[in-house]
Structure formats: C-alpha cells, structure tokens
Amino acid sequence: MIQIDDAGSGSLIGGTCIAAIRTDTGEFYNEIIPIDLFNYENFKNKAYIYYATDIIKRGIESLHISKEEPINICQGYIFDDSRNFLKKENYNFTKGKIVDPLQSIIEKTFEEYTISLGLPREFIMYTKYPFHLHRILKWVYSDYDKRISFCKTGWKSWSKYSELPVDTYYDKVIKSNYTCLKCGKRINDNSSVKVLRFVIDKPNYVYLHKHC
C-alpha cells in the first residue's frame, strides 16, 4: 500500500510538504512545495496544487509505483489535480484520511523543515498546536523584515494581519521563562527586555533581548 499526504498547508510559515510512503517496506519520498508558490499571484492561480502533482509524479518514479499497486491519497483540496492525474492514468487509488505510518512521519518532516527556517524547537516540543496562526505571528513580528519571506503571503488572513500596529517598549523581567523570539536564546532572570505589543483578538506580547 502507498500512502500520500501533505503537511504544512495550514501553517502560515513555510511551503507545504508532500510525501508518499510504501507502508510494507518504509520506502519514503518527500518534497516541499516552494514558499513562492504561496505568494499572492501564485496562490490565486493555485500554482501550488499543480506543483503537488509534479511532486507525486516524481514520487511515483522514485518509488517505482505500478498502476496495480493500491494507493491511498489524502482527500484534501491540495490533491484535487493529483487525483485527476491518478484517475486519468488509471492508477489504483482511493481517497481518504491518512493515518500512520505516514501521518506521523510527514508531520515530523515538516516540523524539522520549519526549524531549519529558524522556528524555535520549543514551539514544536512544548505546545499542542505549534503552527497556530497567532503564535506564528509572534515569531514573524519578532524579525518582520526577514521572516516575511517565509510566509504564505497569498493567504487572505495575511492581508488582515500583515500590517498590524506594533507598540515597542522596554521593561524588566525578574523571573524569566522566556526565549527571545529573534535570536532564539534564553532570556535570563533579571534582564532588561524589549517588548512588542500588538492586538489580534486580544493583546499579544513578544519578549526580546534588549538589543535584539
């Protein structure tokens, strides 16, 4: 059985991981849809959906998937064109919810990819929803000019949240459990800090080293 799934399509940062696995042998293939395919023009034209099909074609070749081998592909919209391709080429596929082994492997693959972009590992390790929009916006606003290039700027929500008014002021933390979201290093106890404040549904606060 071949499983095909995606990870990261709901994350503001990064592209989207597309992966396939042969469940009985563990053979694995994956690629990332480039982030520039999620800018305004490409997102509007659904370029990322067609690129997902290109990845699947390469995965079929790499894993030597025959037309007789059963394939289970995720039912998400990102695979609309891919399923059309599989149907046209007479592959033996069904669509449905993807579970393990691929689900866990592809989620871990996407997490490691975002960490390579600079997302703190703590975001992944210590929260149930590491890619929640409001949480990711804190990381983006911590180094906005650099990190905007990692964002899916074609999203409607990006136009809503991309130019929030940010108040900057300085404070001191006595007992710190913070990590600076700009440099990624711990903020020590009794430290002077730079604080960024912006409002979405409620005030959000970002703590940085004073000179970051």
Each of the 212 residues of the chain gets a pLDDT tens digit; together they read 999 999 999 999 999 999 999 999 999 999 999 999 999 999 999 999 999 999 999 999 999 999 999 999 999 999 999 999 999 999 999 999 999 999 999 999 999 999 999 998 887 776 666 688 888 999 999 999 999 999 999 998 898 999 999 999 999 999 988 889 999 899 999 999 999 999 998 999 999 999 99
167 vs 205: CA distance, rounded Å: 10
Helices (H) and strands (E) in the chain, counts: 8, 8
Backbone angles phi, psi at 16, to 5 degrees: -135, 135
Q: pTM for this structure?
A: 0.91
Summarize pLDDT for 127-136 with one digit per residue, the tens.
Answer: 666 688 888 9
Structurally, how many domains does the chain consist of? 2
Same domain, 130 and 182: yes
Provide the residue range defining the domain that includes 96. Answer: 2-117
Q: Which SS3 state, helix, strand or coil, does residue 197 take? A: strand
Same domain, 112 and 128: no
Q: What is the predicted pLDDT for the residue at 53? A: 98
Same domain, 109 and 153: no
Same domain, 35 and 50: yes
Residue 183 is which amino acid?
A: C
User: Where does a domain end: 67, 85, 117?
Assistant: 117
Do 135 and 12 touch, CB atoms closer than 8 A?
no
